[in-house]
Structure 1
């Protein structure tokens, strides 16, 4: 293998994969509960808000965590910047598409499930398999 060719990890082997699965489960659960107890408009509004948070995180994970190893340090840094820029742009586009194209819509539900889906990443250390050892 050439030094310039970084090692690519498969998507399911990424360290962030359990967090993405948990975010997907939370957004589907929240949308289902909203649909069941508050109606159809709340259900798909929550689904739109959750997908607006989850899809950019999925893109970021794909871009940022695909390289590993010390030799791939430059590729890792470049991919983190590209992933974060793409995540911000994708979030803005998804919000614009949601508010322009989905009628009727409940904005508070959209933002509520959006924030709920993002809050899953706050608990990411609990979802990771590898534990960091203390010095």
Structure 2
């Protein structure tokens, strides 16, 4: 039996993994938070002004670095949603554009999602 992996779950897991790397980088260089603020301001003025996530990220980025790091790696629904519009992935000084890195992260996320799906009750799984 083959387990079909939920692509949304894979993508959410990959975003979490990327934000874990970002949280680690913030531990070494807290100025990355200021760069994310600049990125957020630029995005808001160019394209997303008035969107609720802009205010939510703005509030989050005002927290102390240790709290920002903790929130970035949180598995709660709010952060899962906010990671979809993260100002960190387009901020100066943070480069997650390396194709090989992204491929490794995506493959690891897919393995984790498959493992999670395999642990679900039989009725919750979709067989291919």
Task: Give the structure-1-normalised TM-score.
Answer: 0.30
Q: Greater relative contact order: 1 or 2 (C-alpha under 8 angstroms, separation 6 or more)?
A: 2
Task: Give the structure-2-normalised TM-score.
Answer: 0.31
Look at both structures and tell me which one has the larger radius of gyration over its CA atoms: 1
